[in-house]
Amino acid sequence: MLKRFILNLPLGYKLNGIMVSIAALTLMLVSVAYFVHQHQVVRQQATIELATLSQIYSDTSTAALAFDDKDGANDLLASLAAKPTIRAASVLNRHGDIFARYLASGVPQSLLSSFLPNADPVESAAQIKRDLFHLKTPITLDHETIGTFLIVADFSDVRATQRRFILFLGVLFSLALMISTFLSSRLQRHITLPIHNLTTTMGTVSESNDFSLRVQSSTTDEVGQLCLGFNAMLERIEQQATLLQSQKENLHFLATHDALTGLPNRTLLYDRLHKGLTRARRNNTELAVMFIDLDRFKNINDTMGHDIGDLLLKAVASRLKEAVREDDTVARFGGDEFVILLDSVKMEAIEYVITKVTRAVKMPIELQQRQVVITPSIGLASFPQHGAIPDELIKYADVAMYHAKNSGRDTAQRYFPEMTSKIHARFNLENKLHTALARNEFTIHYQPQFELRTRKICSCEALLRWQVDGKDISPVEFIPIAEDNGLIVPIGRWVLQQACHQAMLWQRPNQPPIKIAVNVSARQFFASDLIIDVEKALKDSGLPPSCLELEITETMIMTDIEKAISVMDRISAMGVEIAMDDFGTGYSSLSYLKRFPLSKLKIDRSFVRDVLHDEDDAAITRAVVSMALALNIDVLAEGIETEGQLEFFHALNCRYGQGYLLARPIPAEQLTALLNQISN
Amino acid sequence: MKQPGLKYFAILLLYFGLLAITANQGMAVERLENREYSLKAAFIYNFIKFTRWPAADTADKPLLLSVAGTNPFGDALLPLTQKQVSGRSIVLTKAIADSDWHDAALHPPSHILFVAFQDPELFSPVIAAVAGKPILTISDAKGFARRGGCIELRQQQGKIRFILNRQAIQQQGLELSYKVYDLALEIVGE
């Protein structure tokens, strides 16, 4: 208990205690030794004094004893009255009888006889009884003992002297102890102060975690070295801490940023969004979340490789960053999805931002000597209109983006609540789409295409129809879904097979061949097995390649023109013809037309519809048709619904036409019947 | 009837009785004198013990004790010859007649001379004769010390006391212990 208490005392107290204890012990030993010495000296001195006195008196009393002069002897002894310590004295003759005596006042005679019993007159003897010192000295005369001198002294004075001496020593001891305590408490600071400093600094360091602190030390002794060592340790810790901090920051950056683009990742986005919302709520400002998805990025990844895809993402990332304010957050949400967080933005400015972002993304990007154009689908949700929590805003922006995508891509959509239900419907649809092929829910309708001059059926376009629970679902609805999830590839393959088989059935000997036009989706077009699928379909059906026409769209080609050209060349080499669908809606340069192995251009129905009352459309159409003719490419006008339109194109020497005026898409059996009717 | 023989016997008895008493008395006086001189002899012995003779006096020689005049000590001095003082024996020179004390005391010279003369006219010449010589003169004659003797013994209240003549002792070239001086009845010649 005590030992624990002493161990827990501060160092200064311990040092003090040790020094004072040693001092006290030393002083005590010295005092005791000195006292014992002094005690002996005093006693010895007193004894010697008494012995001397005794010697003198015994000597002096020789004559008196020799001359038997009792009076003389008594007179002599009476002179002892001058010495207060002498209590009694006597001169004994050779027989031991008292010859003369002296008794101090109040001293009984028995004091003298107390020593007598064992008195040998010849020998000197001493006895100390209590404080009384009896000393016996023989009285000799000429070597002959003639008697004894007996003296009794009171040594209580000696004791009193000793008591005074002890008192003196005690005072001296206390004084020395006080001085040593004072000195040690002063001196120990030289040792404990640096240690105290060390401890204090250590405490401060561990409390504040400030490793830049250093201990001040002026000595070079062990404590000084300890301080130096401690400082060195602090320095190393500081370095380590700095290193750790930078690593931590690095790690934090890695944890909050996307490795590829260096943009904030989903985690940081949510954090910023959370903070931004708090700020917006407090400042009563608006906040917008822009969800951006790159259209047909998968195609690029699949056809050009992931390296190019990564380069594209990086390029888009830097463009997006340049397109918005510096304090807006551009984050990579995953894959080809980006989210832009527009802090305290006015809704009026949103349109401008959308335009800026769209333009930035759509600018052609040069990747490995190839021009790539990519378009964004943008969804937008804002606080406080659409939601107040990060998850909500992101979700709604995502939903809006989905809608943008479904409404033909390359657009921006603001969120509105109905979108959510539409999304649900779309999910529903997508689920059903997965099993549609297996359930035989797809059918193909065929729309005849006519030679305008003869108004005879020369070919027909295969159009996919999907019936779920007796309800027709528009291709506009499900084709993008199939395109997105890749189901378009097996579906397209099925369509190709069916159409080829059907077309083979329609061929008649000695009759012009009935061509079959099959739409190829972008995904299908860039998939490596398109050629194999085409070959297989032709082989399985026995349809001559020249009777198959693949319809591709302008925008599809423009995502990767070089690759598209190579695919088209291979198709063309098989003898299969290629028609460009929806011509005029894309941004294809007319100069490319020359390089494409096209056999037919299909003028988009939007031009055909307005061609009679819109001069611009009429002019464009005229130019396109004459250019195609010049390039020796056949032209087909889509969506002819009136005689006027038909006449317009016929007048332009446009060879083919398609539309409700001529024939609607019909099931294969009806077309078979129609063909039979015509041939008959 | 009267017995004349018994009467004579009684007278005879008385006579012898008286005789016996007187004789007894005479013996008593003599015994008293003997005791006095044996005490004085002891005193003389003590004086010898407390006295130092000049260094020239060789230590191994015996101390000579003489009596000037008729020796009053009888055999009382004889025991002294049995004793030694500081390793020296005491030799008693033969009794000295009144007239020839001179030779006896000085040839060879005594160390201690007891002067038995009671008359100053008799002892003064003796004092004079030994003056300056290392001879301790002792006497029980009245006025001895006052007249230049060293030690004068005197009987007082049944005790032997002494008077010392410091000057005389010093002139004799002797040293007497102060302890003896302390006991002196009187000191003259200061």
Which residues in chain B are closer than 8 Å to A72, comparing Cβ atoms? 182-183
* Contact call for residues A578 and A595 (beta carbons, < 8 A): no
Angle at B13 between CA B9 and CA B16, to 5 degrees: 135
Percent of chain A with pLDDT over 90: 28
Task: Give the tens place of pLDDT for each residue, A198-219.
Answer: 888 888 888 888 888 888 877 7
Residue with the two structure tokens 């020998």: A123
Measured in angstroms, the CA of B179 and the nearest CA of chain A are apart by: 6
To the nearest whole Å, the CA of B162 is away from the closest chain A CA by 10
* Residue type for position A510: N
Cα torsion A466, A468, A474, A479 to 10°: value is -60
In a domain, B169, yes or no: yes
Residue B54 within a domain: yes
Name the minimum distance, in Å, from the CA of A150 to any CA of chain B. Answer: 19
Which residues contact residue A255 at a Cβ distance below 8 angstroms, ignoring those fewer than 6 apart? A265, A267
Measured CA to CA in angstroms, residue A645 lies from A459, A608, A641, A649, A660 at distances of 20, 7, 7, 6, 12
CA–CA gap between residue B42 and residue A495 (Å, rounded): 180
Q: Is residue B1 part of a domain?
A: no
* Cβ contact B183–A141 (<8 Å): no
Does residue B119 belong to any structural domain of this protein? Answer: yes
**DSSP state at residue A470:** T
**For residue A337, what are the β-bridge partners?**
A293, A334
Domain with CATH 3.30.70.270 in chain A: 266-416
* Residues in A touching B182 (Cβ below 8 Å): 60, 63-64, 72, 76
Provide mean pLDDT across the span A386-414.
Answer: 86
Q: Which two tokens stand for residue A94?
A: 């050779």
Amino acid B47: pLDDT = 92
A63 and B86 within 8 Å at the Cβ level: the answer is no
Cβ within 8 Å, pair B49-A142: yes
Evaluate if residue A491 carries a pLDDT over 90: yes
Q: CA–CA distance from A108 to each of A98, A99, A102, B116 (Å)? A: 15, 17, 11, 48
- Measured between CA atoms, the residue of chain A closest to residue B88 is A142
Size of interface A-B (CB pairs under 8 A): 29
CB A385 within 8 A of CB A416: no
The answer on pLDDT for A587 being more than 90 is no
The structure tokens listed for A409 are 């891509």
Q: How far apart are CA B107 and CA B135, in angstroms?
A: 12
CATH of the domain at B151: 3.40.50
Reply yes or no on whether the pLDDT at A545 is more than 90.
yes
Check whether B13 has a pLDDT greater than 70: no
Amino acid, res. A233? M
Do A137 and A59 touch, CB atoms closer than 8 A? no
Residue A667 pLDDT greater than 90, yes or no: yes
The closest alpha carbon to A431, from A488, A495, A482, belongs to A482
Element (H or E) spanning A462, and its range? strand A456-468
- Residues in chain B with CB shorter than 8 Å from the CB of A62 are 179
Confirm or reject contact between A60 and chain B (CB < 8 A).
yes
Q: Does domain A430-679 have CATH number 3.40.50.11890?
A: no
Q: Are A478 and A521 in contact (CB under 8 A)?
A: no
Taking CB atoms and an 8 Å cutoff, what residues of chain B touch A60? Answer: 179, 182
Tokens linked to A298: 């998968």
Q: Considering only CB atoms, which chain B residues are within 8 Å of A64?
A: 179, 182-183
How far from each other are the two terminal CA atoms of chain A, in whole angstroms? 125
> Quick one: closest CA in A to B86, which residue?
A142
pLDDT tier, A365 (very low <50, low <70, confident <90, very high otherwise): confident
| Cα end-to-end span (Å), chain B | 82
Residue in chain B lying closest to A76 (CA) = B182
The tally of CA atoms less than 13 A away on the side-chain side of residue A428 is 8
Q: Could you report the per-residue pLDDT of B134-177, keeping only the tens digit for each?
A: 899 999 999 999 999 999 999 888 888 899 999 999 998 899 98
Alpha helical stretches, state H, A257-367: 266-283, 297-304, 306-323, 347-362
Give A467's strand partners: A472
Report the phi/psi class of residue A349: left, alpha or beta, with left for phi > 0 and alpha for psi in -120 to 50. alpha
DSSP one-letter code for A596: S
CB of A67 less than 8 A from some CB of B = yes
Average pLDDT, chain B: 81
Tell me if chain B has a CB within 8 Å of the CB of A64.
Answer: yes
Looking from the CA of A532 toward its CB, the CA atoms found within 13 Å total 6
CB A635 within 8 A of CB A629: yes
- Average of per-residue pLDDT across A333-346: 89
In whole angstroms, give the CA distance from residue B154 to residue B64: 23
| Spatial CB neighbours of A240, under 8 Å, sequence gap ≥ 6 | none
Closest CA to A442 of A433, A429, A431, A451: A433
Count structural domains, chain B: 1
- CATH homologous superfamily of A266-416 equals Reverse transcriptase/Diguanylate cyclase domain (3.30.70.270)
C-beta separation of A177 from A21 below 8 A: no
Within chain A, all domains assigned CATH 3.30.450.20 are found at: 9-161
Task: Return the bridge partners of A379, or none.
Answer: A291, A413
Average pLDDT over residues A667-678: 90
Give the C-alpha separation, A138 to A145, whole Å: 6
Whole-angstrom distance, CA of residue A571 vs CA of residue A577: 7
Q: Is the confidence at residue A113, as pLDDT, over 60?
A: yes
- Asked if the Cβ–Cβ distance from A66 to B85 is below 8 Å, we say no
What is the predicted ipTM? 0.77
Check if A141 contacts B (Cβ < 8 Å). Answer: yes
Q: What is the predicted pLDDT for the residue at A450?
A: 94
Q: Range with the lowest mean pLDDT among A129-133, A233-237, A507-511? A: A129-133
Across the beta sheet with A287-294, what order do the strands follow?
A329-334, A337-342, A287-294, A376-383, A412-414
CATH annotation of A9-161: 3.30.450.20
Give A649-668 as a 3 state SS string. Answer: HHHCCCCEECCCCCCCCEEH
Write out the residue range of the structural domain in which residue B139 sits.
Answer: 37-188
pLDDT at A444 over 60: yes
Looking at residue B22, its pLDDT comes to: 59
The structure tokens listed for A524 are 């299908």
Residue of B nearest to A71 (CA): B183
Does A145 lie at the interface with B, CB-CB under 8 angstroms?
A: no
Q: How confident is the model at residue A114 (pLDDT cuts 50, 70, 90)?
A: low
C-alpha distance from A81 to closest chain B C-alpha (Å):
18
- Which of A67, A77, A91 should we substitute to test contact with B (largest number of B Cβ atoms within 10 Å)? A67
The reply to whether residue A64 touches residue B49, judged by beta carbons under 8 angstroms, is no
Whole-angstrom distance, CA of residue A342 vs CA of residue A356? 13
Q: Please write the tens of the pLDDT for every residue from A276-305.
A: 999 999 999 999 999 999 988 887 888 788
Residues of B near A (Cβ–Cβ under 8 Å) read: 43, 46, 49-50, 85-86, 177, 179-180, 182-183
- C-beta separation of B59 from B86 below 8 A: yes
